[in-house]
Structure 1
Amino acid sequence: MNEHPVLSVKELSGGYSLNRPVLHDISFHVQPGEMVGLIGLNGAGKSTTMKHILGLMNPHKGEVTVKGRSRSDDAEGYHGALGFVPESPILYEEMTVREHLEFTARSYGISKENYESRAAALSGMFRMEDKMDSLSSHLSKGMRQKVMIMCAFVARPSLYIIDEPFLGLDPLGIRSLLDFMVEIKQSGASILLSSHILSTIENYCDRFIVLHQGRIVAQGSLESIAQEADTPGQPLEDIFYALTQGGSRK
């Protein structure tokens, strides 16, 4: 691709302690209109990577840019280009679903017309029409997760950071989410997706980044990481197993 990446991570090292970094010199990028799967065992560094991208942690060294901007150069532009769906839903208990969507749209400067059309489409897609005026405290965990997803998608940023979005969703919710991720990818948005459900994301992601013990042990298309793992033609689960059971390969 000749386009500049939406997300660029260069030689990033970081973690909770300067003496014990979780991430070790990781580098990768996400291009416009691309869905990239970030996969790894528990403790591999996936959430730490996302926290650095979101600006919740400061790198020990290295650089993260979104649309060519770093947080230090242009914090507002950097964060305005990001949308985030966390693993566990975080909502205001005394706000309704509709109020969450309105609040998000205003934060991103979305016009009333665009907000209304997007909110209507999302509520229908995730079968939440009859819950729009319900307080978040009255929702099930799966419905709360749907609200987080709807809030991210109502904003339509350039880059989505999505962490384990399928937890708590019913099968129809998972299918709706996957279909909509394909739709926004086709519109030019980019997605960095972390999930342990490898069989689900295998056919949706354009590329994969395999993290193991804080290092990238493989990245590329399914075919290229299969070659690196010496598992040509195998499903993603088998490729992942081969890459992570022998320790770091780089």
Structure 2
Amino acid sequence: MALEVSHLVGGYSQIPVLKDISFNIKDGELVGLIGLNGAGKSTTINHIIGILTPFSGDIKINGTAIDKDINKYKQQIAYIPEVPILYKELTLKEHIETTIMAYQLDENEAWQRAKELLKMFRLDNKLEWFPINFSKGMRQKVMIVCAFITNAKLFIIDEPFLGLDPLAVNDLLNLINNQKKQGSSILMSTHVLDTAQRFCDRFVLIHNGQVRTEGNLEALKKEYGDDESSLNDIYLKLAEESNNE
């Protein structure tokens, strides 16, 4: 099991945002993390990547908990945030070099992979440029390149499609599929539900800091819709029910 979240309670203050959340991601699986703004998606991600410490509960990646071996835990994660995090004093080349050092990658293999990704995302002529000055979409591409040169077992991708042009979206989805075939697992938070419906293996729907439901699309249809229901239909129905509670 790549990721196991068990009875997670946590948040930013003494009042918990997350209330007994449990879910898992298997090897080679893409799971969509779905929910309204403020439902707890970002808080969940921040606990998984180690920015926040749980009040209680456990988070393990391939059996390793962050409080038992922080280096082994974090080297298994590649994170692509919604808002790109870049160093203003580093060039694109230096961002890649920093990633190689942080993940202790083989330099030749990593650069071979980086060159393929840079060409794919049309950044191969910008190695000496400073990404902090790039457009939002180009900064997002830098984060994607840095993430996918790693040997991560778990990719956490937060709203990856915002700012990307259609060609880049297609390239990213192809990368995700290829990474799944290699056995990596992906947790993707997104509001682009039509794309999530086509590519995710399962979904975890969070509302008010709790897992409202989880399963593949067919399971969600049986529980909350019918054979013709889309993920968007199910999502809207759950949102309406929650608002009426």
Pairwise TM-score range, normalised by the shorter structure:
over 0.9
Q: SS at the partner of 1:131?
A: coil
Deviation at 1:102, TM superposition (A): 1.3
User: SS state of the match for residue 149, structure 2?
Assistant: helix
Shift of 1:100: 0.5
Runs of at least 5 residues in structure 2 that lack an aligned partner in the other structure: none
Q: Structure 1: how far apart are the matches of 2:127 and 2:180?
A: 26
Distance (whole Å) between structure 1 residues aligned to residue 151 and residue 180 of structure 2: 11
- Offset of residue 95 of structure 1: 1.2
Secondary structure, in 3 states, of the residue corresponding to 2:161? Answer: coil
In 2, Cα distance between the equivalents of 1:53 and 1:32?
16
Q: How far off its partner does 1:248 sit?
A: 8.4
User: Is residue 27 from structure 1 mapped to residue 22 from structure 2 by the alignment?
Assistant: yes
| Alignment partner of 1:227 out of 209, 222, 225 | 222
Residue identity matched to 1:160? F
Question: Partners of 1:139 and 1:81 in 2: how far apart?
Answer: 28
The residue number in structure 2 matching 1:6 is 2
Q: Find 1:217's aligned residue among 201, 212, 220.
A: 212
The count of residues paired between Structure 1 and Structure 2 equals 245
* Structure 2 counterpart SS, 1:216: strand
Matched residue SS, 1:148: helix
RMSD: 1.5
Q: Which amino acid aligns with 1:233?
A: E
1:87 to 79, 82, 91: 82
Structure 1 residue aligned with 2:46: 51
Distance 1:204 1:210 in 2: 16
1:137 CA displacement: 2.9
Instruction: Quote the residue 1:63 is aligned against.
Output: 58
Please give the alpha-carbon distance, in whole angstroms, between the structure 1 residues aligned to 2:86 and 2:13.
29
Cα distance in 2 for partners of 1:61, 1:152 equals 29
> Which amino acid in 1 is paired with 2:63?
G
| Conserved 8 A contact 1:11-1:25 | yes
CA deviations on 1:90-109 (whole Å, 9 max, x unpaired) are: 11112111111111011111
Instruction: Give the Cα separation in 2 of the matches to 1:34 and 1:246.
Output: 29
Name the SS of the counterpart of 1:130 in structure 2.
coil
In the alignment, is the contact (CA less than 8 A) between 1:212 and 1:248 conserved in 2? no
1:131-178 Cα deviation digits (max 9, x unpaired): 122111331111111001111111120001110111111111111111
Unaligned runs of 5+ in 1: none
* Equivalent position of 2:36 in the other structure: 41
* TM-score normalised per structure 2: 0.96
Q: 1:17 aligns with which of 2, 13, 18?
A: 13
Once the 2 structures are TM-superposed, how far is the Cα of residue 247 of structure 1 from its aligned partner? Answer: 1.3
Deviation of 1:232 (Å):
3.2
